[in-house]
Chain A
Amino acid sequence: SQKIEQNSEALNIQEGKTATLTCNYTNYSPAYLQWYRQDPGRGPVFLLLIRENEKEKRKERLKVTFDTTLKQSLFHITASQPADSATYLCALARFGNTPLVFGKGTRLSVIA
């Protein structure tokens, strides 16, 4: 069956460290993978999109990698801050132009 798994429900890290979140998928062939941030009681906000032929994408302190051989995407936040505390969701399409499927998310807490 098709699955998207985000490595853990919750991740706690110290301020200033790099947070690394994992998104694994099985039985998908995504051309694109997206990452979103969701704060409590709010809708998700789009952060980054990475294409299957891109190994890495950066935006300010954020970095996303996409390994179609391992069927995995890693999401990094460098020099993390308490304001980065939120739930982070990965999303991909089963194939072609089908709707996105979202993972359950990882709740990141950055401790000062």
Chain B
Amino acid sequence: DGGITQSPKYLFRKEGQNVTLSCEQNLNHDAMYWYRQDPGQGLRLIYYSQIVNDFQKGDIAEGYSVSREKKESFPLTVTSAQKNPTAFYLCASSMRQDSNQPQHFGDGTRLSIL
């Protein structure tokens, strides 16, 4: 079955540590996205990529970094500069980065601070 796989489902970070969240898709989609969701909040866009080797900052990119070396993969690194990283992180993809394209989401990674 085609879809998006996020791993791990739960992740714990120590103070001062960088952690990387994995996102893989086998839908052959060009565009991929990372969102953060906090309780009572909508999805907020961290980074997005329209094509391999290219990505743009979203609304809350500070303290995060991404790479897009392969079409299928869009890992997100939460750096120590992100002072409030506890949240539910969602990865999504769409055929193109276009407002008429539905987004397909993974089942998220819940990040907590030890």
Contact = CB atoms under 8 A, between A and B. Distances in A.
Contact of B100 (A9, A41, A51, A105): A51
Contact of B102 (A43, A49, A102, A105): A49
B103 A46 contact: yes
Size bin of chain B's contact surface: 20 to 34
Interface string B1-27: 000101000000000000000000000
Interface in A48-76: 49, 51
Interface in A80-111: 89, 92-93, 96-105
Given A31-B99, A32-B100, A51-B100, A43 B105 contact: yes
A45 interface: yes
Contacts of A43: 4, 6, 90, 92, 105-108
Contacts of B45: 99-101
A102 B58 contact: no
Interface stretch (B36-44, B62-70, B79-87): B36-44
Contacts of A44: 43, 90, 103, 105
B29 interface: no
Contacts of A34: 102-103
Contacts of B90: 43-44
A97 B98 contact: yes
A98 B97 CA distance: 8
A46 B104 contact: yes
A66 B42 CA distance: 21
Given A43-B92, A43-B105, A43-B106, A104 B100 contact: no
A102 B60 CA distance: 14
B75 to A, nearest CB: 17
Contact of A93 (B42, B58, B99, B110): B99
A96 B45 CA distance: 17
Given A41-B110, A46-B102, 5 more contacts: A41-B108, A43-B106, A46-B103, A49-B102, A99-B48
Interface of A: 4, 9, 30-32, 34, 41-46, 49, 51, 89, 92-93, 96-105
